[in-house]
């Protein structure tokens, strides 16, 4: 059987640069990689079934698009391949309603929210005027399991009618109605952060929710604004989810507290800033890949004993 150190499954065209850079860094470290796309998916499935091909580790950035990739991943899991972001962990982590309650229990600050059951299960719901008044206006409406790029999210809702109307968009999904959190101002910057957990390490960046642009956090700013708390929060989320690679959005609010806004994003957008204005800084993408490389090497060493 031909054994590869990392299988890379993807279908998004904007992942090309990330995949190319991943292969370059891993191969320079003496690790071998194998791309899996629509063009060779069924061929790879057959090869795995016949035990002609195997992987030490597997990163699946396609299973949320096509369940056939998940079938391959589950087969590999049964063969003791290390799956980065195990599927069962992801399904738990991307349920915003579950995470909302678990974050509260773990002592993390989250927006005041009302959890609404799926329209397919309960056509009629009751929300009191008092509940809406606590939310304030405008408030946010978001589906609990429909993820990625703000799909289905309404950020400026004002009325109960909007809530009732939005429930029809994803009838099988629960919804969160959340208060709108406003960031403090740190020397002209909105105190909004995109934080990554990347294969054993926390990485935090300034991220403007209005422009979607990233910026580095210099050491002096991290100390001045006590931003080491971001690492603590991200590690806490990692302990709750068991994911290897995810991002989250955290705000330092005008109420002087860190609040987790966008709980867990398991498919991180890895477009490079050198190619896209709102992409992740290239050096950070490289750092994430090096973290993955170290983890693959650790797993490979462990498998030899």
Model confidence pLDDT, tens digit, residues 22-45: 999 999 999 999 999 999 999 999
- Cα–chain-centroid distance for residue 178? 19
User: What distance in Å separates the CA atoms of residue 285 and residue 267, rounded to the nearest whole number?
Assistant: 14
For residue range 94-152, what is the model confidence (pLDDT) as tens digits?
988 899 999 999 999 999 988 888 878 777 777 777 777 888 888 888 888 765 556 66
The predicted-structure confidence for 285-304, as pLDDT tens digits, reads as follows 999 999 999 999 999 988 76
For the stretch 7-19, pLDDT in tens is 999 999 999 999 9
Q: Residue 5 in contact with residue 31, Cβ under 8 Å? A: yes
pLDDT reading at 305 higher than 60: no
Residue that wins the pLDDT comparison between 38 and 153: 38
CA distance 8 to 297: 16
Please state, for a pLDDT cut of 90, what percent of the chain lies above it. 73
pLDDT of residue 266: 93
21 pLDDT more than 70? yes
Token digits of residue 186: 């740190």
Residues whose CB falls within 8 Å of the CB of residue 248, separated by 6 or more in sequence, listed in order: 194, 195, 197, 233, 234, 237, 260, 262, 263, 264, 265
pLDDT of residue 151: 67
- 253 contact partners, CB below 8 Å, separation of at least 6: 181, 182, 183, 184, 191, 259
Could you tell me which of 115, 146, 108, 110 has the C-alpha nearest to residue 238?
108
Among 70-84, 143-157, 158-172, the range with the most confident prediction by mean pLDDT is: 70-84
Q: Could you give the CA distance from residue 152 to residue 141 in angstroms, rounded to a whole number?
A: 8
Token pair belonging to 246 = 């995810």
Q: Is the pLDDT of residue 212 over 60?
A: yes
Tokens for 108? 């993390």
pLDDT of residue 242: 97
pLDDT for the residue 31: 98
**Distance (Å, rounded) from C-alpha 38 to C-alpha 13?**
12
pLDDT value at 157 more than 90: no
Q: Is the pLDDT of residue 228 over 90?
A: yes
Residues 254-271, mean pLDDT to the nearest whole number: 95
């Amino acid at each position: 059987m031909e054994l590869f150190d990392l299988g890379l499954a993807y279908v998004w065209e904007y992942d090309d640069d990330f995949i190319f850079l991943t292969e370059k860094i891993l191969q320079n470290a003496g690790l071998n990689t194998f791309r899996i796309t629509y063009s060779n998916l069924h061929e790879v499935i057959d090869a795995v079934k016949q035990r002609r091909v195997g992987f030490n580790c597997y990163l699946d950035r396609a299973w949320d698009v096509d369940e056939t990739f998940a079938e391959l991943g589950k087969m590999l899991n049964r063969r003791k391949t290390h799956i980065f972001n195990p599927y069962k962990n992801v399904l738990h982590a991307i349920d915003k309603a579950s995470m909302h309650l678990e974050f509260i229990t773990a002592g993390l600050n989250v927006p005041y929210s009302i959890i609404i059951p799926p329209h397919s299960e309960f056509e009629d719901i009751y929300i009191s005027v008092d509940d809406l008044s606590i939310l304030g206006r405008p408030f946010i409406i978001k589906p609990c399991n429909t993820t990625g790029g703000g799909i289905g999210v309404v950020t400026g809702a004002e009325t109960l009618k909007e809530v009732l109307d939005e429930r029809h968009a994803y009838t099988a999904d629960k919804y969160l109605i959340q208060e709108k959190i406003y960031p403090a101002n740190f020397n002209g910057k909105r105190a909004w952060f995109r934080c990554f957990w990347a294969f054993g390490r926390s990485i935090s960046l300034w991220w403007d929710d209005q422009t979607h642009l990233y910026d580095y956090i210099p050491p002096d700013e991290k100390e001045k604004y006590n931003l080491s708390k971001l690492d603590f929060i991200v590690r806490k989320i990692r302990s709750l989810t068991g994911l290897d690679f995810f991002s989250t959005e955290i705000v330092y609010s005008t109420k002087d507290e860190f609040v987790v806004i966008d709980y867990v994003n398991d498919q991180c957008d890895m477009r490079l800033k050198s190619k896209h204005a709102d992409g992740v800084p290239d050096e950070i993408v490289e750092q994430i890949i090096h973290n993955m490389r170290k983890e693959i090497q650790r797993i490979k060493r462990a498998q030899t004993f």
